[in-house]
Amino acid sequence: MSEAVLAINFAGPHVAVQDGGRHGLMRYGVPASGPMDRTSFAAANAAVGNPTSQPAIEVSMGGLVLDCLSGEVTFAVAGGGFIVEHAGDKRGAWMVATLRAGERLAIRPGHWGSWTYLAFAGHIEAKTWLGSMSTHSLSGLGGGRLATGQTLTIADPDVRDDRHGPITCPVIARPRSELRVVVGPQDRFFSKETLSNFLSSAFRLSDAYDRMGVRLQGPSLAPSVALDMPSEAIVRGSVQVAGDGVATILLADHQTTGGYPKIATVVDSDLDAFVQLRPRDHVGFLAVTPQQASEHIRLRAATMSRYLAAVRDPCNALI
């Protein structure tokens, strides 16, 4: 069996193997995990002709440097405004090229974005946990974090010279600083003034930002009544408020249950663009009805389907 072997010269924090996610197990207390930015993850896979849920490498702002020890494999980088240095050339993310023995691939943060994705035209050899390679950040279970000094093996690598070149970063992948939310389900714990402050104020992403969620800096959103709610299921995008009035937006590795009240839930179609904001960036909230949220999700899904179909076709790599 042919393979490409890559030495991990450097890997920053939160650089790990992810696939489409570990779905259907939250009722057993198992987070879904998967990519922080599902749009960019799918684009990277589509650009090299893979199924959109195939395992790829999620790269944080810490960056990643790989040296190809043997073999050759076509790769795509999509997500954020990261900088890609390959075989002596420096380019932006949203590109496809082939990595060959003796060449170095370095991915570092650029002017915008917090996450980017490295997909290979081949199969990453990594561990699975409960049927998925998605890495759960706290436990490390799944395909696992990449660490300096390790090697990464790509089985059945393919070279797709016909796919080389740039791919377009779609508007829906750009950072989004106004998030649509559905108020609740525990808005009853907050005063009208607090709800108004939540929807009319600018918040800032704090440095407390990882795959579980990001804490916001801004007006206090302290509950106005005693908390008597039982612990309940949590979804990605929940805006959970702790007793100190600080809100946290829960993300890919969020816990499956929690007892803090949730003042609102971010519409799922806005989350991928939101996670490309960086600490100290500002964000605000716009209330929509559940019906409007559903319509936004349907429209975005249709847009994404058309985009991925075009990216998957080598003749339309630049769209």
Helix (H, G, I), strand (E, B) or coil at 315: helix
Helices 290-312 and 38-47 cross at an angle (nearest 10°) of 20
CA distance 103 to 75: 13
Reported confidence tier of residue 226, pLDDT bands at 50, 70, 90: confident
Phi, psi values for residue 211, rounded to 5°:
-70, -15
Q: What is the mean pLDDT of residues 33-42?
A: 98
Helix (H, G, I), strand (E, B) or coil at 194: helix
According to DSSP, residue 148 is labeled T
- Over residues 276-316, the pLDDT tens digits come to 999 999 999 999 999 999 999 999 999 999 999 999 987 65
Assess whether pLDDT exceeds 50 at residue 188. yes
Bigger pLDDT: 317 vs 85: 85
Read off the tokens for 192: 């009208």
Phi, psi values for residue 139, rounded to 5°:
-90, -25
pTM over 0.85: yes
Reported confidence tier of residue 317, pLDDT bands at 50, 70, 90: very low
Phi, psi values for residue 75, rounded to 5°:
-135, 160
Read off the tokens for 57: 């490498």
pLDDT at 259: 84
Tell me if the bond preceding 185 is cis, omega within 30° of 0: yes
Q: Which residues have C-beta within 8 Å of that of residue 6, sequence separation ≥ 6?
A: 66, 67, 68, 69, 99, 105, 151, 152, 153, 154
Q: What is the mean pLDDT of residues 140-163?
A: 96
Read off the tokens for 247: 């809100």
Looking up tokens 């043997």 gives 70
